[in-house]
Amino acid sequence: MLFNGPVTRDWVGWHDEYATPGSALARRLEVVRGHLRPLLDRPRSVISMCAGDGRDVLPLLPAGSRAVLVEGDPVLADRARRSAADGVTVLTADAGTTTPYAPVAPAEIVLACGVFGNIADEDTRRTIAALPSLLAPGGTVVWTRAGSEAETVRDVFAANGFAELAFTAPSDARFRVGVHRLTRAPDPFLPDVRLFTFT
């Protein structure tokens, strides 16, 4: 997660819920992994924003993949670093700018899990509009958002040249997981572009 200003949430403690069977986070993790598995059918280039400890993607990455995981919390980033294979870079850095993604952009897959629910609506729109500059042609984004606000996220993806491949919305949980593929030409990558700031 990205921190600008005082830390108001214990993100390490928040991640502990992943280990609770049947919890919303544990269920969301399985949905995200379920969408990722078919995308990771061969070595891929991957970007993970606000990557936490990387438990969604690191266990699934095929050998030979190139990935950049960006996480602001040093404890979580260190956990990811210890699990990372060759070709994976874990940065303790600001995930809200494009600069950390330069080593792997344009990527075939971008993960934006746990991002859109923690940033302002205008930042969500700005980030989605900028994703074509991080993606290779036909690249795919896997994202999460809680509740009815996910419908707006789907609309913003559609307005920015993405086609929806999947959308999971359990009736007994608030989490939503979407998968969108870029259907227009990518934009050039530009460093130092502000995407979002965690609220």
Q: Structural domain boundaries of the chain?
A: 11-182
Cβ(27)–Cβ(173) below 8 Å: yes
Residue-wise pLDDT for 114-144, tens only, equals: 999 999 999 999 999 999 999 999 999 999 9
Confidence of residue 6 (pLDDT cuts 50, 70, 90): very low
**For domain 11-182, which CATH number applies: 3.40.50.150, 1.10.1740.10, 3.40.190.10, 3.40.50.300?**
3.40.50.150
Cβ(130)–Cβ(193) below 8 Å: yes
Asked whether the predicted pLDDT for residue 93 surpasses 50, the reply is yes
Confidence of residue 20 (pLDDT cuts 50, 70, 90): confident
Handedness of CA 103, 100, 80, 17 (dihedral sign): negative
Least confident span in 8-17, 25-34, 37-46:
8-17
Percent of the chain with pLDDT over 90: 87
pTM recorded for the entire structure: 0.93
Residue 166's SS3 state is strand
- Residue 3: predicted pLDDT: 41
CA distances to 38, 60, 65 from 123, in Å: 29, 29, 29
Provide mean pLDDT across the span 180-193. Answer: 97
Contacts 24+ apart (CB under 8 A), 89-94: 90/51, 90/54, 94/2, 94/4, 94/70
Cβ(65)–Cβ(1) below 8 Å: no
